[in-house]
Amino acid sequence: MDLKKVFEPKTIAVVGVSVTNPLSPGTVIFNKNYHEMGAETIPVNLRGGEIEGVPIYPSVLDIPDKVDLAVIAIRSDLVNPTVEECGKAGIGGVVVISGGFAELGNEGVERQNELAKIADEYDIALIGPNCMGVYSPPFVDTFFLPSERMLKPPAGNVAIISQSGGFIVDQFLSKYAERNIGVSVAVSIGNKAVVDETILMEYFLKDRRTNTVAMYLEGFKEREGRRFLDIAGEFTKNKHLIVFRAGKTAGGQRAAMSHTSSVAASPRLAADIFKQYGILEAENEHEIVSFAKVLSFKHKTIKNGDVVALTVSGGHGVVCADLIPKYGLKLVEFTEEEIKEMRQMINPSAARIAVLNNPIDLTGSAQDIDLEKVFEYLLQLKKIEAVIVLTFPYPPTITMQIGRRLSNIAGRYGKPVIAYVPWLSKYEIIIKGFEINNVPVAHTIEEAVQMIKGLKMRHPKNQH
């Protein structure tokens, strides 16, 4: 099977457009692809007619052009014959949006088995059934939600695999868009009659667009887990895999069973196995974002977690100091000599009151140049592996250039630097100043610390 037909199609057919119901999934999918996406989009409906002025083909067999991908959103009892037609028409990729398969129990299981058999016979890369499908910019978007109701992230190097369509839209795409985390492909796998997590991982392993896979996982059915871990171990040698597991508690597991009939391993056991295979486990909604963000930048990993926090707000320093051990990191200590050297490089009114232990608080009397000098001094110190800069741009003495100025210095030393900047649109010049220059910006103090934790977990010495 060739998943490229699904993710980078030149031509797609949407089977199940409705000329009467503008809210039907098929119509929503047709409209968004026809108007917004890169693939040529052809409408199909048994009854023919026209939609948006475009003639509707009664069957995929009637389409004269070569079609790469068929998106199917029709009654479940019509799905299998339609996929068979796709096979006959030489269509290599199919996304089945329709529900009415294994999720219904016995009656649907048989239908799903038949669907898998047809796909196998014609060597079709089939996603679904019972899913949102695929968002693969700029080519195709089969999510049956109007684009104006979604938030779409920029193109980038994070691929997403999810056992929940809702979660992918609301927690991955929206949050990644808000935080400028670029996405290569997002896949809602649904009942995974054919294409499952493992097959997708094999694809993303070779996909040049993808550097990191982020995944929402409720668990595996029997035998799936083993196959997945094998490819995961291979994958994490050169790329990153972030997994957020749901269904970890009794109530959550019962809900997961109803939702995707997945069985989770015991949380403790799974966490250990994940670590062994180099998988970065996101422990909450926030780490889904912070890990993906830091790994989408090009940073060295760190071995010990020896960090320094640099700020101009004492309270931020105290809070950061509390979080650092919580995430398995350490505050580097300074000698009297080092403290003296730092005090000599800053302006006299800051020098009088600055706290130059770790966390370093240069106070509200600091200006850009003071931050720059101390920041560069810290990057030079061998004992420091990474720097957290808690930027506080409210005083007028800190300029909008602070992001660019500090990130320029960071670039000269090659050590990981994470900046916290209040995530306000008015500070976008600072945020961009950091991020276009390879310094990821965190949205909360805790997220900054999580990012460093991610870099530590990904160090070869801290795995296996």
Q: Report how far residue 51's alpha carbon sits from residue 65's, in angstroms, rounded to the nearest whole number.
A: 19
By CB under 8 A, tell whether 326 contacts a second copy: yes
- The interface region with a second copy, picked from 113-121, 298-306, 374-382, 393-401 by CB under 8 A, is 393-401
By beta-carbon proximity to a second copy, the closer residue of 139 and 144 is 144
Name which of 171 and 407 has its Cβ closer to a second copy. 171
Among 7, 30, 57, 144, binds a second copy (CB under 8 A): 144
Contacts to a second copy from residues 159-178, by CB under 8 A: 162-171, 174
Q: Burial of 403 by CB count in 10 Å (0-12 exposed, 13-18 middle, 19+ buried)?
A: buried
Smallest distance, Å, CB 245 to a second copy? 9
Which residues within the stretch 433-452 sit at the binding site for a second copy (CB under 8 A)? 444-446
User: Residue 138 or 166: which CB sits closer to a second copy?
Assistant: 166
- Number of neighbours of residue 126 by Cβ within 10 angstroms: 26
Under 8 Å between Cβ of 26 and 8 = no
Q: Is 16 in the site for a second copy (CB under 8 A)?
A: no
Region of 307 please: left (phi>0), alpha (psi -120 to 50) or beta: beta
236-255 mask for a second copy (x: CB under 8 A)? Answer: ----------xxxxxxx-xx
Please state the closest distance from residue 176 (CB atom) to a second copy, in A.
13
- Which residues ranging from 92 to 111 are in contact with a second copy (CB under 8 A)? 99, 103-104
265 interacts with a second copy by CB under 8 A: no
Percent helix, percent strand, percent coil in the chain, to nearest 5? 45, 20, 40
Nearer to a second copy, 89 or 177 (CB): 177
Phi, psi of 145, rounded to the nearest 5 degrees? -125, 130
Write down the residue that tokens 């089945």 correspond to: 96
- By CB under 8 A, residue 380 contacts a second copy: no
Q: How far is the CB of 178 from a second copy (least distance, A)?
A: 8
- Specify the 3-state DSSP secondary structure of 164: coil
Question: What contacts 148, CB < 8 A, 6 or more positions away?
Answer: none
Residue type, 327: Y
How many Cα atoms are found within 13 Å in the side-chain-facing hemisphere of 358? 23
- Encoded amino acid at 64, one letter: P
Q: Applying CB under 8 A, does 361 fall inside the site for a second copy? A: yes
Question: What does the per-residue mask of binding to a second copy show for 32-71, with x meaning CB under 8 A?
Answer: ----------------------------------------
Instruction: Mention every residue, 6+ apart, whose C-beta is less than 8 A from residue 243.
Output: 214, 215, 217, 274, 279, 280, 281, 282
Q: How far is the CB of 89 from a second copy (least distance, A)?
A: 29
Q: How many residues does the chain have?
A: 464
Q: Rule CB under 8 A: say whether 112 interacts with a second copy.
A: no
